[in-house]
Amino acid sequence: MLRIRAAKRSDYVDLLPLVRELHRVHRLALPEMFPPNDKPLSRLALRRRIHSPHAACLVAVDGGEVLGYAIVSLVPTSPLDRIVMRLSSLASVARLSGGIWSWRQQMSSDQGTRRRTAFIDEVVVAPTARGRGVGAALTEACVAWSRERKAPAVELQVWDFNQTAAELYSRLDFVMLRRIMRKSLEGP
């Protein structure tokens, strides 16, 4: 029976092949962005995620076998939040007679009340466990973790080559906010 739980230090040995698989898939699709890396996750990095009050590494297990993992964290503001905040601040500047000083005062007074957005950094499922709902269960567990911490939203990024993941996130009610396009200037 599939169960999602917080990662433990002892999971490192089981997580490392999954991290390597994630890196391998990304390296195949985008070798210029993902250089060779024999150890893409250090024990220290895992320990920091496990013990952070602002992040979690969640593990999917079935019968003692690790089938996947996800990493979620709280970030001070999302890029979209910063755009909205900047636009609303510019509107405040136009309305206030105090000009830029009032805008800065407003920004500093908002710092203590601004909520953190949750960001799902990685969702990885073992190749042998794909198509069994593991990715959906991990993503929903990240959403639940975010809700418990009163995050106003959950964001993630998905590479364009990973249409399977994009379709999963769409089924889980994630919506496309933006597209980042890239042109390589290396080579002919």
- pLDDT averaged over every residue in the chain: 81
Say what the pLDDT of residue 53 is.
85
Nearest-angstrom CA–CA distance, 125 and 110: 39
Q: Give, in degrees to the nearest 5, the angle at Cα 128 between 126 and 133.
A: 75
Say what the pLDDT of residue 184 is.
81
Find all residues with CB under 8 Å of 11, minimum gap 6, and list them. 46, 57, 59, 66, 69
Tens of pLDDT, residues 59-80: 999 999 999 999 999 988 655 6
Which one-letter DSSP state was computed for residue 54? T
Cα of first residue to Cα of last residue in the chain, in angstroms, is 52
* Residue 140 in tokens: 């929903």
Nearest-angstrom CA–CA distance, 85 and 81: 6
Tens of pLDDT, residues 91-108: 444 434 344 433 333 333
Tens of pLDDT, residues 153-162: 999 999 999 9
Per DSSP, the three-state class of 65 is strand
Whether 116 and 54 have beta carbons less than 8 Å apart is answered as: yes
DSSP string, 83-103: HHHHHHHHHHHHH-TTTHHHH
